[in-house]
Amino acid sequence: MDSGLPEVAELFVELARVPSPPGQERAVADQVVEYLRSLALSVDEDDAGARIDSTIGNLLCRIESTGEGTPLFFCAHLDTVPPEGPIEPVVDDGIVRNSGGTILGADNKAAVASMLEATRRIVAENRSHGGIELLFTPKEEVGLRGAAAFDQGRLRAKLGYVYDHAGPIGEVILGAPYQCKLDASFHGRAAHSGMFPEEGRSAIAAAARAIADLRLGRLDDETTANVGELHGGRARNIVPERCFFTAEARSHDEGKLGELVQEMLETITFAAQLGDCDVETQVDPSARGYRFKRDDPPVRLAAAALERSGIRPSYGLSGGGADANVFNERGLQCLNLANGMTDIHTPDERIAVADLERMVDVTLALVEVARDAS
């Protein structure tokens, strides 16, 4: 069907139209596999799906080198945050949006589409390169679980890129924060709220006091904290015996993060004591941060590729995690590049067709610069 759209935009719309919440990525994965096989490329799927409760494992496609150059890997995740309605992509004045009142899925299917279209052109035009690997992961949105379950030793390339930052094309992400999850479970005493309230110990009241006393939001230019979920109680007329909340903390300074988590634990414990409740806490370091310098190889290569594409590079830090966190922790060099996504995880999520095309150009330029740098 000829929609009049560039091929990368058509591909993106096809991918976005299919829901793929974490753990349910099979339909989109099948589209990716079919696309790559149509280019006479083989795709290998590992056994991560069974280990992380997903319908797919990690997909790896290797395009053998056709010349000299530094081999590169490109990674994108196939899951999106769960949609809360139908996904009906429309193109309006050069912008792809969802008319269905929920997310679009540009995070991260815009990256998938740009990487696939660049691969098609490399193969069709027989472009010289030093080796390319494409990795597509599941369950990124719920803790980078697909990438964490992938055996990075299978990658020949030691330098790679993800396009997983909502920002203008040209923004190079030099670092991501350390992250820590914190769960708190309060246990009080149930009682009838009208007849014997003095005999009860409200777990909800204790949890509310803790949350009120926590320092939340943006604490400084590199540190944030948040309480995201709160559950408790059984009925309106029962003093609640149990209450549970989930929280997180992030900082680009690992030491500062440790101090903040300890402060949060002490605040939670003190609130439980004041409410005459017990509390159990669990802390899970969910992602290790990283920081690149501007003269590190992946940054220099990205800057050269952007300039070759007519884009002036800029540099910044991310407040979120991406699969890049996993690879950098394991000794690979993986850089995150902004790809033009806007208002991700919201019903206003959108991306310009021109930005999809520009990221194809950036991908091709990365491959060219890596070839020429050898």
Catalytic positions: 79, 140
Q: What are the residue ranges of helices labelled H in 275-352?
A: 297-308, 323-329
Tokens linked to 359? 């990221």
DSSP string across 110-142: HHHHHHHHHHHHHHHTT---S-EEEEEES--TT
Determine the length of the chain.
374
Secondary structure (3-state) at 349: coil
Distance CA 318, CA 322 (A): 10
Tokens linked to 173? 């992400």
Tokens linked to 124? 């069709």
Distance CA 204, CA 68 (A): 63
Tokens linked to 132? 């390319």
- Burial bucket for residue 278 (CB in 10 Å: 0-12, 13-18, 19+): middle
CA dihedral 223, 229, 230, 235 (to 10 degrees): 170
Q: What is the DSSP letter of 152?
A: G
Assess contact for 135 and 45: CB atoms under 8 A.
no
Using CA atoms, how far residue 229 sits from 82, 130, 223, 265, 277, in Å, is 16, 47, 20, 17, 20
Distance CA 179, CA 226 (A): 11
